[in-house]
Amino acid sequence: CNPPADRHVEYEGYDGWYNNLAKPSQGAVDTPLLRLLPPAYEDGVYQPVRRKANPLEVSEKLMRGQNGKMSKGGRTAFLLYFGQQVVEEILDAQGPGCPPEYFNIDIKSDHDFARSPRLKVMPLLRTRYDMTTGFSPNNPRQQLNEITPYLDGGLVYGTSKGWADALRSFSNGSLAPDGLLAWHDELGEGFPAENTQRLPMANPPPPTNHSSYVRQQETAKVDRFFKLGNPRGNENPFLLTFGIVWFRWHNHVAKYLRSVHRGWSGERVFNEARKWVIATYQAVVFYDWLPRYMHTSLPKYQAYRPTVDPQVSHIFQSAAMRFGHTLVTSGVYLRTRNEQGCISLPYELTAPEGSSQRRVVGVRTCNSFWRSPELFTRDPAHFERLLMGLSSQSTEQEDNVIVDDLRGRVFGPLEFSRRDLMAINIQRGRDHGLPDYNTARRHFGLATLDSLDTEEYKRKTGTHVEDQVLSSLRSLYDNDPSKVDIWPGGLLETRNGPGQLFSKVILDQFERIRDADRFWFENNNNECQMAAATQCEAPPALAEEWGIPCWAVTVLLQDNEPYDHFTRVRNSDGAQPQCLKLQHPLLSVCASLYPCTFNLSTPIAGKQPSRGMLSSLVSECRRSYH
């Protein structure tokens, strides 16, 4: 699609400003999250919510269970990790405030964390907020979204022009250099370059060599990562795989446009390719991923609605969007084309500290955090193998059980290297002043619960929960639904997908994002984006050269029929049953928790440490989390 030469073409910005011409800052970076529910701060202003239930105890009693059960809805790991990059396209509210405010979680004496290395609290920093808020009940604290809520390609290009410029070639519309995908010197044109410019990407310590990081007073170097638009895009190999797909798609669209429009400048090619990529992304998210994730669809798009606020809501950020955690697997198999088994693809993994090296058949989630490039630098073919593993392997079952890789072995700062993400979910909701479960249900037009008795719960939520789990819920929250945190309350509603409350929140969020976007690909002002998204297989050379005819990997498995990577966990290619779900005996053991400690009697850099130096080292430990 070629806009007329005499027609002014407006290209979407990177930071969200002026998407809404009447409200220029709406949806811009570093603007407050949206409060759909009234805040429940302890003092009505900014103090975090105080509830009786200990978040670590809630995680242990409500979310521990057997891992390895297959999805009831046929959801694949491909759907799961595609969803993670969707969330990271619209939301980043994890950065700590300044000055730092700790909202730590007490560790009870019977918890694993208390036994070794005998720690008393799990550290958690409160998040960044608008410094003009938090002064009165009429102006309560408002936390910030550090990126735009629009589906505007931020995870590909970044959310500032400066970041995008660091990824470009400025010669032919490609991502640098020379029409090749930010060419990695060792891996070739299919992979991004290493972050030698040291873009400020998220960089918590990986699960190996923790003791050496403490001695060095810093975590691993940020230049080991691939250079991406998403600052958190190197968190795990599964997420990174999609980052590589989108980078490849931009460069090949740019190559196609150059071949068709030889008179276009490199700047024109880049901007038109970016429009094409964004349109494709929007179409895939709304018409392929979201209906399969939710098992329902949004109402048909009507028109741009400038009065709608697209901003991510607090309840989406701190609770509903975290539904995906129940789907997370302990790892993902590597598979080859037309391979009938998974166990033929073992690879050597750098062992976590305190364990021995071994050959494993899959990529273990807990041991791959912030080590993603390592998988591809060892063998570039793992990119294709991981895509095939993702698209043929089931997620975990949709229920209240969370894998150990998240519930006790997720990454953390140097002073507490492995943490419980489920406890953090609960504490984050309290940090942001989220009200209780019943208040949330009432706001979204759902029946409130009078108690947590089995029959009452089943009748009001339409969900059957095991008696033992409900008994624990009653004990933790005094049988009072108005004391229950939204995250565990909504998670327990899970059936074949998000339950009543989370479904309402998620669908509301995505409908607002779509309708409030002036640059939405279906908007009448964006005919060319509409054509690009609906005819994304136009450049036939892409299928021939990369096996990526549109946005994904349709031909990688060499099917003779259309293949649904999102929800079709299949066995039609003769794969053994164990290939459809991951078996723990075939995986590496999760890295242990290590604290950040300093020995005052040990010289550091040839100096005897003073109390001031120790304070500096502890501060460095804390900063390393972000």
CB count within 10 Å of CB 404 equals 16
Q: Which residues contact 282 (CB under 8 A, 6 or more apart)?
A: 151, 514, 520, 521, 533
Helix ranges (H only) for 29-75 are 55-63
**Contact, 75 vs 568, CB < 8 A?**
no
Q: In what helix (H) or strand (E) does residue 529 lie, and over which residues does it extend? A: helix 527-534
Spacing of C-alpha 360 from chain mean position: 25
| Structure tokens, 543 | 């299928």
Written as one letter, the residue type at 77 is A
Tell the burial category of 228 from Cβ atoms under 10 Å away from its Cβ (0-12, 13-18, 19+): buried
Q: Residue 325 annotated as binding? A: yes
Question: How far apart are the C-alpha atoms of 148 and 91, rounded to whole Å?
Answer: 7
Distance separating the N- and C-terminal Cα atoms of the chain: 42
Beta strand pairing status for 31-32 and 144-145? antiparallel
Check: CB of residue 479 under 8 Å from CB of residue 470.
no
Backbone angles phi, psi at 188, to 5 degrees: 95, -165
Between the alpha carbon of residue 173 and those of residues 176, 255, 257, 258, the distances in Å are 9, 8, 9, 8
Q: Coil, helix or strand for 114? A: helix
What are the φ and ψ backbone dihedral angles of 439, each rounded to 5 degrees? -60, -40
| Burial (CB count within 10 angstroms: exposed 0-12, middle 13-18, buried 19+), residue 50 | exposed
Give 410's strand partners. 419
Could you tell me the two tokens for 487?
């995250």
List of residues 6+ apart from 468 with CB closer than 8 A: none
CA distance 39 to 474: 24
Could you tell me which of 89, 588, 597, 112 has the C-alpha nearest to residue 369?
Answer: 588
d(CA 377, CA 135): 50
If we measure between CA atoms, which residue out of 338, 334, 236, 355 comes closest to residue 582?
334
Annotated binding site for heme b: 325
Annotated binding site: 325
